[in-house]
Amino acid sequence: MTTLLLLDDHALIRRGMRDALEEEGFAVCGEASSWAQLQPLLDLHADVLLLDLHLPGISGLDILELLRERDDAPPAVVVSMYPQDQYAARAVRAGARAYVPKSADTATLVAAVRAVANDARVPAPAPVAAPHERLSATEQSLLVMLASGVPLAAAAQRLGLAPKAAGVHRARLMEKLRMATNTELAHYALRHGLLGSMVH
């Protein structure tokens, strides 16, 4: 039977994970809410450690680094509320074998734990591209200009486009970004730090 350690500072979350995983045939042999509580439990030689990143004192990422220095440390599955696209790769670089969002269903968690227990590594997801990164170079330039308040006719002139062609490019980028107005473009550009890339 695969044995597990749970490290999370919320008792209710640990209880929920324990119940879900024990129903799937795993055995939880120890629970901890901090690095200090986890250290003596490592002597149990569990097959897999499930840990959160947001912990009191030493963070989960730091704990992963500490575990890499120990020969007796079990392989780790991070179970976190932090965004997967931002933290999964960092957790894997720190030593985690898998990353599962707390919003995931039980089947996803069980699959990750089983894979890691079988000495597999669950790949970190590739970062999700922002919508504007799928625009063509011309559409990106037009986006920045329109978001900066440049009229379409002036933007067309700067880009060396006929007014009609500029209108087509604007329609395409609006469709790709699912937006309808230049005001929406401006808010989007501000959120993604695009206005500093304005070419004068």
CA nearest 127: which of 167, 92, 170? 92
Confidence label for 138 from pLDDT (cuts 50, 70 and 90): very high
Task: Give CA 68 to chain center in angstroms.
Answer: 22
φ and ψ at residue 135, rounded to 5 degrees: -80, 155
Residue 123 lies in a domain: no
Q: What is the CATH number of the domain that holds 164?
A: 1.10.10.10
pLDDT at 22: 95
Please give the Cα distance from 140 to 18 (Å, whole number). Answer: 48
Q: What is the rounded average pLDDT for all residues in the chain?
A: 89
Q: Are 112 and 145 in a shared domain?
A: no
78 membership: H or E segment, kind and range: strand 76-80
Residue 124 lies in a domain: no
CA nearest 155: which of 130, 175, 185? 185
pLDDT > 60? residue 128 = no
The 10s digit of each residue's pLDDT in 40-81 is 999 999 999 999 998 988 999 999 999 998 888 999 999 998
Confidence label for 158 from pLDDT (cuts 50, 70 and 90): very high
Give helix then strand counts, H and E, for the chain.
Answer: 9, 5
Please give the Cα distance from 124 to 199 (Å, whole number). Answer: 36
- Whole domain around residue 105: which residue ranges? 3-117
Least confident of 33-42, 166-175, 178-187, 191-200: 191-200
Q: Are 99 and 17 in a shared domain?
A: yes
Residue 105 lies in a domain: yes
Confidence label for 198 from pLDDT (cuts 50, 70 and 90): very low
Q: Are 179 and 106 in a shared domain?
A: no
List, in order, residues 6 or more apart from 165 with CB less than 8 Å away: 156
Residues 23-59 as b or e (16 or more Cβ within 10 Å = b): eeebebebbbbebeebeebbeeebbbbbbbbebeeee
List, in order, residues 6 or more apart from 47 with CB less than 8 Å away: 2, 3, 4, 74, 75, 117
Q: Are 98 and 168 in a shared domain?
A: no
Q: How much of the chain exceeds pLDDT 70, in percent?
A: 94
Q: How many domains does the chain have?
A: 2
pLDDT at 122: 74
The 10s digit of each residue's pLDDT in 78-96 is 999 887 777 888 898 899 9
